[in-house]
């Protein structure tokens, strides 16, 4: 803005000099012949002033373009901030809902011939993880074998965790499909998402992403935007199960589950 004012001020000075020059000629060169000689030089000055005026005009246009550019950039930043705020409002509400769903989980298990014990909250997730690992096996089997075992297990056990897993999927998909975030921002919010889950939950969700391909059809095409990096391998049935999702990983196959 200051440069623009300077350019306009220069224009006023040039215009003022243009107006007062004839008066100065009459005062300092009363002889017509002298004024004629000076007039030849005055034509050169006129060209010089015209050039200065054009330069000032060009510079003014440049400054205006820069101001427009800055305005557009500020508007884009403000729009980005609004989109992020809307995303976070929904994101944290979804996390809050997931917490309520987890706290509402409840199952009963017979501990002896006459006694049943009720499990609630995240303890239920640990029980489900153990049941799932018993069903699919704790050995280094092929992915297709694990999927087939999972399908048989899911036929009898899917209803208990349908809402729990569906909401996890919704949060995951909400992050990776957001048009308001770049990949670095998506990784950041995936980290926040993963930190809401304990090791049992992360391991259980990992298996559902790996084995239930219909449930997680929109997540599987984005292996670079998942939460597998937050999974504690010692909570898997076998360390090499992680390699079924990330074949490029180098994992110690002699590491025993939950003792690594």
Is 144 within a domain? yes
* Model confidence band, residue 201 (pLDDT cutoffs 50, 70, 90): very high
Q: Give pLDDT tens digits for 90-113.
A: 999 999 999 999 999 888 877 677
Both 64 and 123 in one domain: the answer is no
Other CB atoms within 10 A of residue 90 CB: 12
Which of residues 60, 77, 94 is at a domain's end? 77
Instruction: Give dist(CA 52, CA 7) in Å, integer.
Output: 10
Q: Are residues 119 and 7 in the same domain?
A: no
Binned at pLDDT 50, 70 and 90, residue 128 comes out as confident
Q: How many Å apart are CA 41 and CA 25, to the nearest integer?
A: 12
Residue span of the structural domain in which 159 resides = 105-245
pTM: 0.68
* Residue 257 falls inside a structural domain: no
| Contact present, 140 and 238 (Cβ < 8 Å) | yes
For 159, the token pair is 């209803």
- In this structure, the number of other CB atoms found within 10 A of the CB of residue 124 comes to 22
Q: Is the dihedral of CA 93, 95, 101, 104 positive or negative?
A: negative
Please answer whether residues 127 and 109 qualify as being in contact, where contact means their C-beta atoms are separated by less than 8 angstroms.
yes
214 burial class (0-12, 13-18, 19+ CB within 10 angstroms)?
Answer: exposed
C-alpha radius of gyration, the chain, whole number: 37
- Domains: count for the chain: 2
Residue 95 lies in a domain: no
Q: Are residues 129 and 190 in the same domain?
A: yes
């Amino acid at each position: 803005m200051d440069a623009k004012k300077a350019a306009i001020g220069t224009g006023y000075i040039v215009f003022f000099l243009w107006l007062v020059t004839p008066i100065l000629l009459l005062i300092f060169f009363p002889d017509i012949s002298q004024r004629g000689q000076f007039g030849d030089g005055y034509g050169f000055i006129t060209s010089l002033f015209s050039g200065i005026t054009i330069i000032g005009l060009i510079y003014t246009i440049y400054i205006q373009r820069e101001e427009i550019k800055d305005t557009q950039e500020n508007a884009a930043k403000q729009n980005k901030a609004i989109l992020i705020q809307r995303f976070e409002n929904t994101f944290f509400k979804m996390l809050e809902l997931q917490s309520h769903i987890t706290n509402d989980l409840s199952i009963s298990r017979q501990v002896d011939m006459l006694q049943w014990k009720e499990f609630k909250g995240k303890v239920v997730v640990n029980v489900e993880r153990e049941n799932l690992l018993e069903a699919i096996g704790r050995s280094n089997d092929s992915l297709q074998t694990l999927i087939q075992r999972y399908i048989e297990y899911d036929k009898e056990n899917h209803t208990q965790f349908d809402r729990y897993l569906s909401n996890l999927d919704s949060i995951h998909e909400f992050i990776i499909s957001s048009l308001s975030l770049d990949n670095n921002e998506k990784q950041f919010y995936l980290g926040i998402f993963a930190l809401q889950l304990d090791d049992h939950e992360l391991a259980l969700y990992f298996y559902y992403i790996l084995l239930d391909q219909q449930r997680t059809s929109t997540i599987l095409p984005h292996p670079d935007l998942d939460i597998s990096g937050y999974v504690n391998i010692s909570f898997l049935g076998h360390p090499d199960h992680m390699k079924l999702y990330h074949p490029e990983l180098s994992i110690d196959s002699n590491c025993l589950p939950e003792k690594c």
